[in-house]
């Protein structure tokens, strides 16, 4: 059994003033709130047990819009991240929800042109360890970048000034239950955050990190420009 976790915290400061009174994940993308894209990616791939991790300012807004998930044919639970301490910290709050099951983790502002079902199927075949999804990008220095040797990831570097590849790690991850033990062992980065890249590199050292390459377009809809691109991408799918 695979459970779904959507990370939808943060204050969306790059999208201000649109996010002055709401979460960026509730802004419209296509013809519905952004968060619905992640939910439907999971439910259409057969994952119907979903946790949304968000901040205390917006959790009630999410509940008002999404409820318990009945409208999507799933069960939605909520967890509050009281302090913005990074992706790995937000993920740590899903431990009780996971109940030792493997999980798929989506960053709620990542919009995909195509289904993520194939990546889920690949991970189900893998059974344990972790898997990341990569995409070739023009500006890898903005992302976590995978160094690949002989078809194996040897290291993931966070926003390197001189990237060794153009394969960015996007906001779609798969983990077995040991991820929570790993998070307990890591320390905050220089930014004061618990980095998901640090977690992924533990799996690299264990030789338990696999990867997939994303086909189709992908947008991290965290700025006004990228939000407009995501909106156009999803609207064009409806035509």
What is the spatial distance between Cα 58 and Cα 200, in angstroms, rounded to a whole number?
29
Mean pLDDT of 68-82: 97
pLDDT band at 105 (very low <50, low <70, confident <90, very high): very high
CB 24, CB 41: distance < 8 Å? no
6 contacts 100 by C-beta, under 8 angstroms: no
**DSSP assigned state of 80:** E
Helix axes 59-66, 34-43, angle to 10 degrees: 60
Q: Where are the beta strands (DSSP E) in the chain?
A: 2-7, 28-29, 32-33, 49-54, 75-80, 102-107, 110-112, 130-136, 144-149, 152-158, 167-175, 209-213, 218-220
* pLDDT exceeds 70 at position 239: no
Q: What are the beta bridge partners of residue 147? A: 155
Mean pLDDT of 148-163: 94
Q: Which of 5, 25, 1, 30 is nearest to 15 (CA)?
A: 25
Is residue 138 a contact partner of residue 17, using CB atoms and an 8 Å limit? no
Q: What is the separation of C-alpha 134 from the centre of its chain, rounded to a whole number of angstroms?
A: 12
Q: How confident is the model at residue 9 (pLDDT cuts 50, 70, 90)?
A: confident
CATH number of 2-238: 3.90.550.10
* pLDDT of residue 12 exceeding 80: no
Contact in structure between 22 and 58 (CB atoms under 8 Å):
yes
Q: pLDDT at residue 238 above 70? A: no
CB 7 within 8 A of CB 107: yes
Tens of pLDDT, residues 27-41: 999 889 999 999 999
Are the C-beta atoms of residues 105 and 174 closer than 8 Å to each other?
yes
Mean pLDDT of the chain: 93
* Per-residue pLDDT reduced to its tens digit, 182-197: 999 999 998 889 999 9
pLDDT value, residue 18:
76
pLDDT over 70 at 87, yes or no: yes
Mean pLDDT within 56-85: 96
Residue 8, pLDDT score: 95
Higher pLDDT residue, 48 or 233? Answer: 48
227 band by pLDDT with thresholds 50, 70 and 90: confident
- Smallest Cα–Cα separation from 161: which of 181, 137, 145? 145
> 164 or 237, which is more confident?
164
Long-range contacts of 58-61 (CB under 8 A, 24+ apart): 58/8, 58/22, 58/23, 58/25, 58/26, 61/22, 61/23, 61/26
pTM higher than the cut 0.75: yes
For residue 145, is pLDDT > 90? yes
Assign 22 a pLDDT band (cuts: 50, 70, 90). confident
Which residues share a beta bridge with 33?
Answer: 28
Q: What's the confidence (pLDDT) of residue 127?
A: 78
Residue 151 sits at φ, ψ, to 5 deg, of 65, 20
């Amino acid at each position: 059994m695979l459970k779904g976790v959507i990370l939808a915290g943060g204050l969306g400061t790059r999208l201000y003033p649109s996010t002055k009174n709401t979460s960026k994940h509730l802004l419209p993308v296509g013809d519905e709130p952004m968060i619905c894209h992640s939910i439907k990616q999971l439910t259409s791939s057969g994952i119907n047990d979903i946790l949304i991790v968000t901040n205390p300012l917006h959790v009630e807004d999410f509940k008002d819009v999404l409820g318990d998930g009945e409208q999507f044919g799933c069960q939605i639970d909520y967890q509050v991240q009281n302090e913005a301490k990074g992706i790995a910290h937000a993920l740590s709050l899903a431990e009780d929800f996971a109940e030792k099951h493997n999980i798929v983790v989506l960053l709620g502002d990542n919009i995909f042109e195509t289904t993520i079902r194939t990546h889920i199927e690949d991970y189900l075949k893998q059974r344990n360890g972790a898997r990341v999804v990569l995409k070739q990008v023009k500006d890898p220095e903005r992302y976590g970048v995978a160094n690949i040797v002989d078809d194996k990831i040897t290291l993931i570097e966070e926003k390197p000034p001189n990237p060794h590849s153009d394969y960015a790690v996007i906001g779609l991850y798969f983990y077995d239950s040991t991820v929570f033990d790993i998070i307990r062992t890591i320390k905050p980065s220089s930014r004061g955050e618990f980095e998901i890249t640090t977690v992924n590199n533990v799996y690299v050292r264990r030789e338990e990190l696999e990867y997939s390459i994303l086909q189709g377009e992908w947008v991290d809809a965290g700025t006004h420009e990228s939000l407009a691109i995501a909106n156009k991408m999803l609207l064009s799918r409806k035509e």
